[in-house]
Structures are given as structure tokens and as C-alpha cells.
Amino acid sequence: MYQDLDAYWMPFTANRQFKKAPRLLARADGMYFWTPEGRQVLDGVAGLWCVNAGHARPKIVQAIQQQAAELDYAPPFQMGHPKAFELAERLVKITPPGMNKVFYTNSGSESVETALKMAIAYHRVRGEGQRTRLIGRERGYHGVNFGGISVGGMVANRKMFGTLLAGVDHIRHTHDPARNAYSRGQPAHGAEFADDLERLIALHDASTIAAVIVEPVAGSTGVLIPPQGYLQRLREICDKHGILLIFDEVITGFGRTGQPFAAQTFGVTPDLMTVAKGITNGCVPMGAVFVKQAIHDAFMQGPEHLIEFFHGYTYSAHPLACAAALGTLDTYADDGLLTRASEMQAYFADAVHSLKGLPHVIDVRNIGLVGGIELASRPEEPAKRAFEVFLDCWEHGVLIRTTGDTIALSPPLIIEKSHIDRIVSTVADAIRRVR
């Protein structure tokens, strides 16, 4: 196993700490990773919120292998290949009603950039070109490209990169531990936080606003569940003022909340929806934007030989990605994984909420098969306590994820009760050991 670690500048990683004590993964299957030394590690985070069907699933592996030999690449501009169209037809059968157009990207970050550009361009082709303002949310995460960090609201992701995009504002976040600590599922309090959008509309005027983008469940900031009625209220306000509503479902898409998409779990349909991660089970980079028919149709005007939307990527609808996605959809269907979180969520909720009362635990949040355990921060050492829990769990054979001082759990949807028990007991022991 190659061990020279110097040349690789790792993403979202404490590089100096990692290279002193590397955490390397060499193999994966089902619910587990293995290190180069052969130590088994239970995957409590589906890789990075993406391996929803578990690792090394045969139909996905075979689809990728066969595609590489058959058609390794096809240009996506002015050309196509059959699997791109087959996949789109399969996808729109599981999206919320009316979201029946698919635009392919290669990542969640690219999906967000695409959706933001679509929103602005849509208003322009309709004759409302003054609608260029974008509204995000505090503590939101929408990838790492300039559009995504502009509408995003995680300070560490923004502070080093200058003034970002102009014409962006943010509504307040929904985290309200004083009223909602230890909620199971959607918190009872906080629908009124959506009314903060009315404040920004009054400030900027609705006629200047193109779109509002939110995660139905804010994942990377620490698993913030939408209060009851909150997303419905956002939808009503956007409709009232002619503003597009974008759901970022890169994390919540493909079964994480108990339905294929969180839009269906919460009963609110956006105008545009960004996805990635679970679309290919993490096997080949891919993303997509789901679009309502009327938005697509607004672009379909003018001479037919001219390009309607000047946007796309060299690797849009890459043949290997399309094959992987088709194999992924087959696997989800075979195992009933797009709704399995709804079957497991009660047991999962009981397990994660059993951590209440442990030292340093100040909140527990859950929906479907995603959970957040928030720890009190040490004075002058933010995020260090949770990072030490992460390292302790790793040493004891369980992979978790932390963001700030919140532990995030998002296991593969194939998880069994015994896996849940082991993950949560390992986290509990680590919390007890940390100072």
C-alpha cells in the first residue's frame, strides 16, 4: 500500500493532523470499510451521505464495468447516448409530480450552480430580467463553488473568499434549542421563521428576487430539521411573490428521510431540486437538477437550431455515471431502499435519543435515517470535543462524521438494528470518555 502522503492536499481535512496519524480505507463491502491493515470499520455515515445502498453492490459494479468496455465517453453537447435518456425517464417516475425534466451535472456543487443559473435565466426569458437576487439561509450548505458559498450560510466556508456574488441575502436559520431541544422528527416550534423571507422581500422588493434556496433538512451544518409548517410557509410566500423555490436535496435525496425525496416526506414541491450523492450511490460522480415542466418550456422558444440554455459540463450525462445510476435505481428498487428509512426511523430515533443525559450532550435531532447529536463546545476550543469523539469512534471501529461540535449519523439504508445498536453504543462510550 502506497504510504507517501505529502503531495496530496486533502479537502475539508485537518491535513497536518491527518498525516501524523493517517486514517486510510482500502476496501468496502455492504455496511463496512476495511483499512489497509485489515481492520473492519462500520460505516455510520454512508461514506459521505452518499452510499445509500451500501458498498460494492453487484448491479452497480457490473453496470460500471460493462459500460466502460462498451462506451467510455460520449460528448454531451449536440450529441447523446441511450442511457442518458433512459435514466432521465426512470428518475422522473420517482420525483414529486410535475418535476419531469432532468439536467445532468457531476456533483452537488454543480447542481446548485446550475439551478441558480436556471432560476435567473428563467425570469429573463419571461421578460423579468430584473429578477437577479438570490436568497439563501444562514447555516445553509450548498456546495463549494462561488454561487453555492454565496447563497450558503456556513461562515467557515465563506470567510476566506472575498465578497462572493453580489445581490445575495439570507433568511435566518431554524435552529431553536430553547424551544425544540430533543425533538423527535420535525420540531413543533418555528414555522414563523419562514416569515423572515417577507422581511427580505420588503427590503429588496419582490420584483428583484429570482429564487430562494434551502435544504429541506440542513445536513452539513449539523442536522437541522425543518419545524412543522415551515417549508409549507416558504412555499406560500414564494408563490405569493412569483419567486422560485429551490430545494437542495443533495443529502436528503434518494431515501434518506423515508421517501424518495424530502419534498415528498414533507409534502412540499419546489420549482427546482438539486441532487447528487445517492443518485449513483457515490460510485461515479454525478448530479442533476429536477425542473418543473413550465420552467423548461419557458426556454423552448426562438429558432429551433439555436441553443436554448448556454450551460453544461464536459462530463454531463457521462456514460459511466448513467450506468451507475441505473444500477443504483435497480438496487434501490430490489431492496425497497427508497422507503426503508421510514421503516427503521422509530428504532433509529429511540437509539440516538438514548444519548440524552450523557456528559456534554445538549441536543439530539433526527428524521428518517439521519441524526445529529450536539455537544457543548469547550471554551476556546470549538469543534475539538466532537473531533475527539470522531477519533475515538474510529479507533473502536465505527466511522461517524462531525461538523462543529455536532456528531452526524447517516448510515447506509441497508442498516439493520444490530448495526444501529453498535454505532450508537460506540458513540455513547466515546462521549463518556471525552473530557
DSSP H or E segment with residue 375: strand 370-375
Let me know: does 149 contact 134? Beta carbons within 8 Å: no
Find the DSSP H helices in 71-107.
82-92
Question: Which of 307, 335, 363 is the last residue before a domain boundary?
Answer: 335
Residue 125 lies in a domain: yes
Residues 24 and 75 placed together within one structural domain of the fold: no
Residues 259 and 169 placed together within one structural domain of the fold: yes
Residues 36 and 133 placed together within one structural domain of the fold: no
What's the angle, vertex CA 319, arms to CA 318 and CA 324, rounded to 5?
A: 100
Let me know: does 191 contact 268? Beta carbons within 8 Å: no
Let me know: does 419 contact 390? Beta carbons within 8 Å: no
Residues 409 and 359 placed together within one structural domain of the fold: yes
Cα distance between residue 281 and residue 285, in whole Å: 9
Residues 92 and 127 placed together within one structural domain of the fold: yes
Residue 274 has phi, psi (to 5 degrees) of -100, 140
What is the pLDDT at residue 3? Answer: 76
- Cα first-last separation, the chain: 35
Beta bridge partners of 403: 406
pTM of the model: 0.97
Number of domains in the chain: 2
Task: Indicate which CATH number applies to the domain containing 242.
Answer: 3.40.640.10
Residue 7 lies in a domain: no
Question: Which of 335, 358, 377 is the last residue before a domain boundary?
Answer: 335
| Spatial CA neighbour of 276 closest among 398, 161, 185, 143 | 143
Cα distance between residue 281 and residue 28, in whole Å: 13
| Spatial CA neighbour of 398 closest among 14, 33, 132, 1 | 33
Residue 170 has phi, psi (to 5 degrees) of -135, 135
- DSSP code for 277: G
- DSSP result, 332-371: HHHHTTTTHHHHHHHHHHHHHHTTTTSTTEEEEEEETTEE
Residues 217 and 291 placed together within one structural domain of the fold: yes
> Within the chain, which residues score under 70 in pLDDT?
1-2
Residues 134 and 231 placed together within one structural domain of the fold: yes
Question: Which of 287, 314, 335 is the last residue before a domain boundary?
Answer: 335
What is the pLDDT at residue 375? Answer: 98
Residues 35 and 117 placed together within one structural domain of the fold: no
Residue 253 lies in a domain: yes
Range of the domain at 76: 62-335
What is the pLDDT at residue 101? Answer: 98
Let me know: does 367 contact 342? Beta carbons within 8 Å: no
Residue 73 lies in a domain: yes
Cα distance between residue 415 and residue 43, in whole Å: 10
